[in-house]
Amino acid sequence: MNSDGQNDLLEKLSAVLIRCFFLSLALLFIWLIFYSIGGGAGCSLHSKWFELSKHDYDLLNYFGIAFTKICAIMFFLFPYISIRLVLRRKKA
């Protein structure tokens, strides 16, 4: 693959990665909205299916949001930044 093909591939890959990052942020925002508005209803619904206390429900949501955020940063944002740095170095 020639240099132009590599640059084009890296440009497209970086565009996909940043879109995935923003979509994961949108997912986190929606999760936060649903948790804030319907936290009590969600807890009562899930406590019927599983033996969860309010504290356990809160912890599951907190750790789920934290895990999703860490994965979004590690798998989408960091590779995007590294690809953009490589492309900037190639142009200079």
pLDDT digits (tens, 9 = 90+) for 8-21: 999 999 999 999 99
Per the structure, the complete domain to which residue 46 belongs is given by 3-91
More confident residue, 82 or 43: 82
Query: What local confidence, expressed as pLDDT, does residue 32 receive?
Result: 94
Mean per-residue pLDDT, 49-68: 93
The structure tokens 């429900």 sit at 57
Q: Tally Cβ neighbours within 10 Å of residue 57.
A: 20
pTM of the predicted protein model: 0.87
Domain total of the chain: 1
Structure tokens at 58: 């809160």
Q: How confident is the model at residue 80 (pLDDT cuts 50, 70, 90)?
A: very high
Q: DSSP strand E in 1-92: where?
A: none
Burial of 47 (0-12, 13-18, 19+ CB in 10 A): middle
